[in-house]
Amino acid sequence: MKIAVAGTGYVGLVAGVCFAEKGHDVTCVDVDEKKVKLMESGVTPIYEEGLEDLMKKNNAAGRLHYTTDYKSAYKDAEAIFIGVGTPEQPDGSANLSYIATVSRQIAESVERDCLVVVKSTVPVGTNDKVEQFIHDFLVRDVKVEVASNPEFLAQGSAVYDTLHAARIIIGTESKEAEATLKKIYEPFNLPIVSVNRRSAEMIKYACNDFLALKISYMNDIANLCELVGADIDAVAEGMSYDARIGAKFLNAGIGYGGSCFPKDTKALKYLAKQNGYQLRTVEAAVDVNAEQKTKLFKKASNRMITFQNLRVAVLGLAFKAGTDDLREAPSLDNVKLLLDSGADIYAYDPIATDNFKKCYPEGEFAKGSIHYVSTPEEALQDANICFVFTEWGEIKAIPVEKFKELMRIPLVYDGRNIYNVQEMKDAGVEYYSIGRPAK
């Protein structure tokens, strides 16, 4: 089937590449000419495991194309997927301006009957508005329907999640639209859950916010574990055997980040408020997460007299391993606090450093400074204190003895509970983590 995809971020590009991998003829549309040329050369603008290999494969096969010319891409497409961003606004609501721009471009460009599929995460009822908006600006006498098809990929495993999804959610208002989407996804050979548009929109928010709730709940329990002398790892293991709870998203840490959970919890909270309802559980998850991000900094502040002129090792900058995304990353909050406190930071991340430099260029700041290094060992060398913010394999692989060997003061605050408490103690490291008592 001939498919156009609007937007080449995590949602749009991964979807487009995977559609091409399953045999569809796909054109990805983006406004950035440099980005388009980069993708044409087989280079991905985002870091995602396996994505670049599939891009090169399908570029060579002639099934995958890139353009800034939306008119040519949309005019004869059988289906147009919208995968542009819906960033949060100051009040927590979703910014739908990019959705509106693409919708009008589609309305003014299509020359045949087609199905417009909103893959972006949007508030409940948005698909209805998109369909009306397109009809308002439609230039030619063609039939355009709108469907909802939210994504459920996780950054760091987006390609795998798309090709091996637990289910495909499609929201339609006609049998014809439903049949078209089922035809598109037929080569994936995955379970399809077909509902109406508003239900599909709500499923996306309900799933993401439930996982955010689960993370914040475990972090809340971890904080209590520290106070009463329980071990969150042991608690999580005991919980994981309960089939009603499951084993995933039970790891305590310094909170969630990324492009989905922070934005989607705030958006659902805003939607509830607009409809005269208070989502108290979601509000609690948001509040717990905001406090959790800087928990280790506050704990370290109680231990240290000052961070002024201290050499601070920061291991991990991305919000999670497997991605270079920094959106809502705990490292951002903590690096700001450290710099404001006069620390000299030596930061390591295997992938996200270039993105982090856009926020904090290397060099001196008003009080502190930040330097970027190419190995964890360089960051640890002569450090007075170390913070771990991302669970990269390269960081997990550091022998515990290295902290004692390399650091001036072997003092480690681990926000991802990577290391064994007893092993760190035996190695002579003063070690603090989340929800686990020192042995």
The CA-to-CA distance between both ends of the chain, in Å, stands at 60
Taking the C-alpha atoms of residue 247 and residue 152, their distance in angstroms, rounded to an integer, is 18
The two tokens of residue 155 are 């950054």
For domain 204-290, the CATH class is mainly alpha
Nearest to 419 by CA among 315, 310, 317: 315
DSSP secondary structure, 224-260, as one string? HHHHHT--HHHHHHHHHT-TTT-STT---SS---SSS
Other Cβ atoms closer than 10 A to 101 = 14
| Fold match between domain 2-195 and domain 204-290 | no
Query: Burial level of 304, CB count in 10 A (0-12/13-18/19+)?
Result: middle
Q: What is the pLDDT of residues 170-210, one digit of tens each?
A: 999 999 999 999 999 999 999 999 999 999 999 999 999 99
The two tokens of residue 82 are 């919208």
Q: 293-432 has which fold?
A: Rossmann fold (3.40.50)
Taking the C-alpha atoms of residue 4 and residue 115, their distance in angstroms, rounded to an integer, is 11
* In this structure, CATH architecture of domain 2-195: 3-Layer(aba) Sandwich (3.40)
Nearest to 32 by CA among 47, 19, 45, 43: 45
The two tokens of residue 207 are 């799933």
User: Which element (helix H / strand E) includes 146?
Assistant: strand 144-148
Q: Model's pTM, two decimal places? A: 0.91
From 207, 260, 359, 386, the catalytic residue: 260
Rounded-to-10 torsion of CA 413, 419, 424, 427: -120
Position 439 pLDDT exceeds 90: no
Beta strand residue intervals within 341-423, DSSP E:
344-348, 363-364, 369-372, 385-388, 411-414
The two tokens of residue 388 are 């771990």
Handedness of CA 95, 98, 100, 103 (dihedral sign): negative
Is 260 a catalytic site residue? yes
Q: What is the pLDDT of residues 67-122, one digit of tens each?
A: 999 999 999 999 999 999 998 888 888 899 999 999 999 999 999 999 999 999 99
**Quick one: pLDDT at residue 336?**
97
Please report, for the chain, the start and end positions of each structural domain, with discontinuous segments joined by +. 2-195, 204-290, 293-432
DSSP 8-class letter at 89:
P
Q: What is the pLDDT of residues 122-159, one digit of tens each?
A: 999 999 999 999 999 999 999 999 999 999 988 889 99
Mean pLDDT of the region 352-377: 96
Rounded-to-10 torsion of CA 14, 20, 26, 32: 40
